[in-house]
Amino acid sequence: MQAIPPKGRGMLDYQAPSLFQPHRARQAIRDAHEGKIGPLVGIYLGLSSIPVARHVASFGFDAAWVDWEHSSCNVETMTTMVHELMFMSGGRTIPFVRIPGHDHAAVGYALDAGASIVVPQVETVEQAKHVVSAAKFGTKYGGTRSAPPFRLIPGLTDGLVDPSLSLHENLNHQAAIIIQVETLEGIRNLDAILTECPQIDAVWLGTLDARVSMNLPGNMGFGGQEQEWQDAVALYEATMQKHNKPKSGFALGPPELRKQMAKGKSFVISSGDVVAYMGFSQEIAEARELFERNQPQVAKEVEMTNGEAKKEARENGTAVTVDVKA
């Protein structure tokens, strides 16, 4: 077994032998769930931008979520964003990709790039089994994933975390699978899903989509007090506790709200590129108010300058009127 570095270096402690391989993200999430490390703190990238991913890689996030589901991202852009996050961070940041749907090829593309995956709108056991199958190698693991022939090059990028296992068995144990439950049906089926698919590493309750699917106000995903909603959340919580599975989700907003949203979660998204851009509207409003307050002082200075110019012209015996424009 390859020696594991001492704890205390963040996600470098879960780095694979090669930056072309996924981190040992499964273990990192499980360790956070068991309190061995703090929760993984991540950033959401929804803008499908390679330069943004490149800059984010230097910020020190434990994880970065590339949203391939709700962006104009194509396979090449997604792959390059994953590489930028992995290589520019030197392995300090784990790339996660939310794939568009349950497509077998999309699962493979994201994993081949070196990311772990987030799978949206999982509602049934059949869907969960399909996702796990697409993500794993070998029938022993129920897998149907195709082995990439040139992604991991023998002797260069195919190092083994555990030499007692094959490369593909190692990869099965490295990349994490997070499913998103985003409907009441999915919440009700979650017990069966986790019973039939223990390879699922964490579950994300998609509160915005779940509320919309239940014909409730979306409330930007911050939940609500309706009894039917409270009952659905209670069922989700009880199921997660029964199966001892890590939870994940957003933790946004003011500090106290973020702390409350992050409670009990092993992986939290605390920032986002789109969230940062949304803050510009407040900055614009503050700037306009500040600059408007400056206007009377500017006008007074202009008036004083005009007066001084006119006085100087009179003293020089000229008939010229000088107006200094702001």
Please give the pLDDT value at position 292: 86
Please give the pLDDT value at position 2: 43
Q: What is the 3-state secondary structure (H, E, C) of 16-60?
A: CCCCCCCCCHHHHHHHHHCCCCCCEEEEEECCCCHHHHHHHCCCC
CB 204 within 8 A of CB 181: yes
Task: Report pTM.
Answer: 0.86
Domains and CATH numbers, the chain: 10-281 (3.20.20.60)
Contacting residues for 35 by C-beta, under 8 A, at least 6 apart = none
Instruction: Tell me which residues of the chain have a pLDDT lower than 50.
Output: 1-6, 320, 322, 324-326
Partners of 202 in beta bridges? 178
Residue 139 phi, psi dihedral angles, 5° rounding: -65, -25
Please give the pLDDT value at position 314: 62
pLDDT tens-place string over residues 255-271: 999 999 999 999 999 99
Task: Tell me which amino acid residue 238 is.
Answer: A
Task: With H, G, I as helix, E, B as strand and everything else as coil, classify residue 109.
Answer: helix
| No. of helices (H) and no. of strands (E), the chain | 11, 8
Please give the pLDDT value at position 318: 57
Please give the pLDDT value at position 301: 60
pLDDT tens-place string over residues 131-154: 999 999 999 999 999 998 888 899
